[in-house]
Amino acid sequence: MHAYVRVDAETPGGWRATLALTFGREGERTVLARRVHSGPLTVQRPFHPEGLAGACHVYLLHPPGGVVGGDVLDITVHAGPDSRALITTPAANKLYRSAGPRAQLAQTLHVDAGAQLEWLPQPTIAFAGVHARVATRVNLAPGGSFIGWEILCLGRPDSGERYDGTLGTALELWQDGAPMWLERARYDGQVLLDAPFGLRGQCVSGTLLATPVVTPDRLDAVRATLALHDTVLTGASMVDDVLALRVLGFQTETVQRALTAAWAALRPLLMGRPALPPRIWAT
């Protein structure tokens, strides 16, 4: 079920690109069992740096290097029963200035019973003058496990560019058709960026969701890890079986570093494997 995160077909101009990935189990090993794509969306060759029983690592590729007004990108990932998959990107995703048409990026992730999916993309950078919508929906079956994050940088602080544009975002986690986490934001101009009830002037925000949490000691472990990152604002809480973490900062590097540390603390507790960062993060 894709619900409203599907893209609008009537958006004029721009690239139309789709990518559908299905992961399955072959013995102890997880493989990329199916890959269907059209337009400028694809993946690098999957590999297994954690050994046969570890996660299958996949890097998403968008050769144009960014999204412009009128682009419509649709990504679907299906982690089949008992599969182990980690998905990331080799570089930041860029939402460029638009002359009028809206760009749309929809990401729908399905996690079957016994499957473990890690969704860890590099940051999304929204340029001044952007007109876009980015929506991510996770559909989780009972017995599935998920750790994922979304990192958003409004403007380009290193270049002195202050954000100004129209951007809608959505992040949702569902289980058996029932919502576990629903979050929507609209960054029209600089109101939410500057507001004390918004980003407090800090242009980089990150959200990490992990489930099932099961025991409160996992929240304590994350909070102890975040206490070491005093250059960013952090907060972590539990909502039923979902652990939610928020990080605010002025640089993508410091926000991503805090989220990576939280992921490294959570992964052994939720998925029973030590944290092995994707090699691409070191380049």
Question: pLDDT tens digits, residue range 208-222?
Answer: 999 998 777 888 888
Span 144-154, mean pLDDT? 97
Span 63-75, mean pLDDT? 92
Cis-peptide, bond into residue 12, ω within 30° of zero: no
Rg of the chain on CA atoms, in Å? 18
From CA 80, how far away is CA 10, in angstroms rounded? 32
pLDDT of residue 8: 42
Q: What is the mean pLDDT of the chain?
A: 91
Span 92-120, mean pLDDT? 95
Range scoring the smallest mean pLDDT among 69-83, 206-220, 266-280: 206-220
pLDDT of residue 215: 77
pLDDT digits (tens, 9 = 90+) for 25-55: 999 999 999 999 999 999 999 999 999 889 9
Span 102-129, mean pLDDT? 97
When pLDDT is cut at 50, 70 and 90, the band that residue 265 belongs to is very high
pLDDT of residue 12: 53
- Tokens found for residue 163: 């954000």
Cβ-based burial of 238 (10 A; exposed 0-12, middle 13-18, buried ≥19):
middle
From CA 238, how far away is CA 142, in angstroms rounded? 18
When pLDDT is cut at 50, 70 and 90, the band that residue 13 belongs to is low
The position carrying tokens 């001044």 is: 128
Q: Which residues, listed in sequence order, are joined to residue 148 by a DSSP beta bridge?
A: 119, 209
Span 195-208, mean pLDDT? 92
Any residues with CB less than 8 A from the CB of 150 and at least 6 apart, and which? 121, 124, 136, 169, 171, 206, 207
The yes-or-no verdict on residue 10 having pLDDT over 60 is no
The yes-or-no verdict on residue 6 having pLDDT over 80 is no
Strands 29-38 and 42-43 turn out to be unpaired
Tell me the backbone φ, ψ of residue 282, rounded to 5 degrees: -90, 0
pLDDT of residue 1: 31
DSSP 262: H
